Amino acid sequence: MTKEIYPEVARACGCSWMAVERSLRTSVDIVWRTNAPLLAQMARYPLQRKHSAGQFIEILAVYILREMEAEKSQDRDAAAEGEMNGRNASKK
């Protein structure tokens, strides 16, 4: 991760890869200290210790992907319901 992701993020943000790494470690520390239960809820498993930066990113990425999929599913359900309501209204 250090060799691939940090330099790319650093270029995009106009800073060094070391600043990216430090900021990420700081973020992990703050989240662990202030809201570990929420992080465990997002991970969907109990957290016994503070995770590494890579594990933290994985938890966030999987959570975001799950939320996006749930949102798409809700949109599909709403569209299907709208189609059903439209068909029922045309039968009257």
pLDDT at residue 81, as a whole number? 77
pLDDT tens digits for 26-73? 999 999 999 999 999 999 999 999 999 999 999 999 999 999 999 998
Report the predicted TM-score, pTM, of the whole model to 2 decimal places. Answer: 0.74
Average pLDDT over residues 7-29: 96
pLDDT (0 to 100) of residue 15? 97
Q: How is residue 72 written in tokens?
A: 């798409």
pLDDT of residue 88: 65
The full set of domain ranges for the chain reads 5-91
Rounding to the nearest 10 degrees, give the CA dihedral for residues 42, 45, 66, 70: -90
Q: Where do the H-state alpha helices sit in the chain? A: 5-13, 17-43, 53-91
Checking if the pLDDT of 89 tops 70, the result is no
Q: What's the whole-number mean pLDDT along residues 74-88?
A: 76
